[in-house]
Chain A
Amino acid sequence: MKVLTANRLSDGIAVWYADGGWAETVGHADIAHDKTAEDRLEAIGAAAAANNEVLDVNVIDVTIVDGLVEPVRLREKIRAAGPTIHPDLGKQAARAA
């Protein structure tokens, strides 16, 4: 299972591709279950980078936890949540609020 992620050009904030746009949280990102879907995500990412919406585009491994998308690697988990040392900063802050 994979999703498409990048950083937004204007502010560098981590974003994930969801519902035809870029969401600020990973939970409802579009999931690719097979190679064809993965290729489609990669094409979308390349087009968005070429269109200067985002940069540093990657397709990453995910799993589903309690109905929400969650990255597999620690690096991507931290990107999706915020610095582990500052629960008050990053995406996790909004989630807690």
Chain B
Amino acid sequence: MYRYDEFDHDFVQARVAEFSDQVKRRLAGEISEDQFRPLRLMNGVYLQLHAYMLRIAVPYGTLNSRQLRMLGHIARKYDKGYGHFTTRQNLQFHWPALADVPAILADLASVEMHCIQTSGNCIRNVTADHFAGAAADEVADPRPYAEILRQWSSVHPEFSYLPRKFKIAVTGAERDRAAIQAHDIGLHLKKNAAGELGFAVYVGGGLGRTPMIAKKVRDFLPEAELLSYCTAILRVYNLYGRRDNKYKARIKILVHETGVEEITRQIEAEWQQLKDTELKLPEADIQAINAYFAPPALSARPEGDALVKQARLDSKSFSEWLDQNVVTHRHPDYAAVTISLKGIGEVPGDVTDSQMEAVADIAEKYAFDELRVSHEQNLILPHVARADLKVVYDALVEIGLATANSNLISDIISCPGLDYCALATARSIPVAQEISRRFASLERQREIGELKLKISGCINACGHHHVGHIGILGVEKKGSELYQVTLGGSADENTSVGEIIGRGFSSEEITDAIEQIVDTYLGLRLNPDERFIDAYRRVGPAPFKEALYAGETKAA
């Protein structure tokens, strides 16, 4: 994986020193909150309901064991023994004291981590397919390009005060696991007919209060033009994006109001000025970054087949975990493993200090020291020899992280909601927990099949509810929590925004409503292979509305 060069080290150290001094002056009362707020946000420090919150960048979701161990150490020493993985592939601590933040940042810097640009109106952590570098279906590893974008966007002087925050995602496979069409810029790394690498470029996606699917502005951008083209997009946005209204300031609104044809024309015109400048990526630079992401030396481990076969016979639970949480690797003797952070009734994305350390040990021993954070709030071991799968499974069972529910209804994305967040209007985690408990039976979950359920505790949509097959949005109505349900959303290569199905449900009603939706689906699907989303697209909302609200209409 990428290692800091001298410049990176100096840059991060200088930032730690600078922010430590700012914290010191704030605590001494030399600077006011109004002066300090933008500074702390630039360094990932928020104020939430109970305490400050610190958001740590995990570039394109890639971690090594040393880094995960350090996160565990920070959780134990400075926080309350746990951390929360987010949909931006980052990690948040919910309880750090401001006075401790300089020490935490110094610890992070010692393992090449920081909190820079995890907040504010700048280019945020670039996310990528969590199976990058391992996926059998990928054209090339998207992470070198994410790293190039990270270096380019870090304290970029022109793009540090954008109209609003800006999020970029990259995938290297046709099958989009990085939700690129829900991003300000989505990049799909692909090859043209001549076998050259380049990108399909999508612009203007986003969730929040006005969900929009990104529009494709270019079908093939040569890889060397990555930065010149992104600069052109950012320039058009920086110039014309609305600054008069925070809620209309994202690029999605600009794209929507300008129209895709005109915005494409503006971007292309800007790009004409930029494409043959120093922003063109030299082949040698691309190769140099690529070298950091060279795959580990995967030696042949053909004994895996027989071992897995035997272990399947010996253990039903291992067999189920294998079917659900293990995916095909580009090397036939290896597999990529999803470590579910969605134990039944647990808090989605939460992981304890000791679990972090244990997972780091497993990664070091059996997975070439590589880990990924998925935007679905799980951890990934991207390269595990099939021959080692049973040992890895047993080690995960020991720490309570072997739940075999990847992509099933209990693999829920949930924002922190009103249990922590100052912006939230309703709780989301308890809803996730109750649904998870209701559908606890793995047999039942597997019978239902792939179902993406996503929950947000306010209209800002950190829980991606708009693109859940089933989405839940918690709002406050007359002093109580009310949950609106959307159906038919999706965040893959066929991205769609879910439709509100009808009146919302109270916290007492919501789990029953979800169960009714699932039962309705089971009753109408053509066969077990027809996923919830496919069935919904075929039949539309009517049968679900009927199941949820028919009694009310008749009563009225």
Contacts of B96 in A (CB 8 A): 12
Q: Which chain B residue shows the least CB distance to A50?
A: B32
CB-based contact B27/A90 at 8 Å: no
Q: B residues within 8 A CB of A72?
A: 479
Question: Shortest beta-carbon distance, B473 to chain A, in Å?
Answer: 16
Task: Determine how close the nearest CB of chain A comes to the CB of B46; give it in whole angstroms.
Answer: 9
- A55 part of interface (Cβ distance < 8 Å): yes
- Could you tell me the distance in whole angstroms from the C-beta of B72 to the nearest C-beta in chain A? 18
Do the beta carbons of A55 and B27 come within 8 Å of each other? no
Residue B225 at the A interface, CB < 8 A?
no
Which residues of B395-440 have CB atoms within 8 Å of chain A's CB atoms?
A: 418-420, 422, 424, 427, 429-430, 433
B391 interface hit (Cβ, 8 Å): no
B33 touches A49 (CB 8 A): yes
Assembled-state Cα–Cα distance A46/B32 (Å):
12
Closest to B433 in A: A85
When the two chains form their complex, are residues A85 and B49 in contact, meaning their CB atoms are under 8 A apart? no
The smallest C-beta distance from B63 to any residue of chain A, in angstroms, reads 25
In the assembled complex, how far is the CB of residue B337 from the closest CB belonging to chain A, in whole angstroms? 27
**CB <8 Å contact, B47 and A78:** no
Contacts of B34-48 to chain A: CB distance below 8 A: 47-48
Q: From B46, which residue of chain A is reached at the shortest CB distance? A: A12
A63: Cβ under 8 A from any B Cβ: no
Residues of A within 8 A of B479 (CB): 72-74
Whose C-beta in chain A lies nearest to the C-beta of B45? A12
Is the Cβ of B419 less than 8 Å from the Cβ of A85? yes
Q: How far is the CB of B229 from chain A (nearest CB, A)?
A: 41
Q: Find chain B residues with CB under 8 A from A11 CB.
A: 51-52, 97-99
Contacts A9-B26, A10-B99, A13-B51 given; indicate if A55 touches B33 (C-beta within 8 A): yes
Complex CA–CA separation, A82 to B481 (angstroms): 17
Say whether chain A's binding surface is mostly helix, strand, loop, or mixed. Answer: loop
B325 to chain A, nearest CB (A): 24
Q: Could you tell me the distance between the alpha carbons of A74 and B481 in the complex, rounded to whole angstroms?
A: 9
Contact of B47 among A10, A55, A82, A86 (CB under 8 A): A55
* Residue in chain B with minimal CB distance to A10: B99
Q: Is B50 an interface residue (CB 8 A)?
A: yes
* In the assembled complex, A7 has its CB within 8 A of some CB on chain B: yes
A89 contacts the other chain (CB 8 A): yes
Q: Quick one: which of A18-38 are within 8 Å of B by CB?
A: none
Residues of A within 8 A of B51 (CB): 7, 11-14
Q: Does B212 contact A (CB under 8 A)?
A: no
Which single residue of chain B is at the shortest CB-CB distance from A56? Answer: B47
Return chain A residues, CB-CB under 8 Å to B32. Answer: 50, 52
B 352-403 contacts with A by CB, 8 A: none
Q: Does A95 touch B at the CB level, under 8 Å?
A: no
In the complex, the answer to whether A78 meets B418 with C-beta atoms within 8 Å is yes
> When the two chains form their complex, are residues B419 and A10 in contact, meaning their CB atoms are under 8 A apart?
no
CB closest chain-A residue, reference B99: A10
Asked if B47 contacts A12 (CB within 8 A), the reply is: yes
Q: A10-B27, A11-B99, A73-B479 are in contact. Are A85 and B47 (CB under 8 A)?
A: no
Provide 15 A-B residue pairs closer than 8 Å at the C-beta atoms, listed in order of the A residue: A11-B98, A12-B50, A12-B51, A52-B33, A56-B47, A73-B479, A74-B481, A75-B424, A78-B427, A84-B419, A84-B430, A85-B430, A85-B433, A86-B419, A90-B50
**B residues at A contact (CB < 8 Å):** 26-27, 29, 32-33, 47-52, 80, 95-99, 347, 418-420, 422, 424, 427, 429-430, 433, 476, 479-481
Q: Which 7 interchain pairs have the tightest Cβ spacing? A: A11-B97, A12-B52, A52-B29, A83-B419, A12-B51, A55-B33, A79-B49
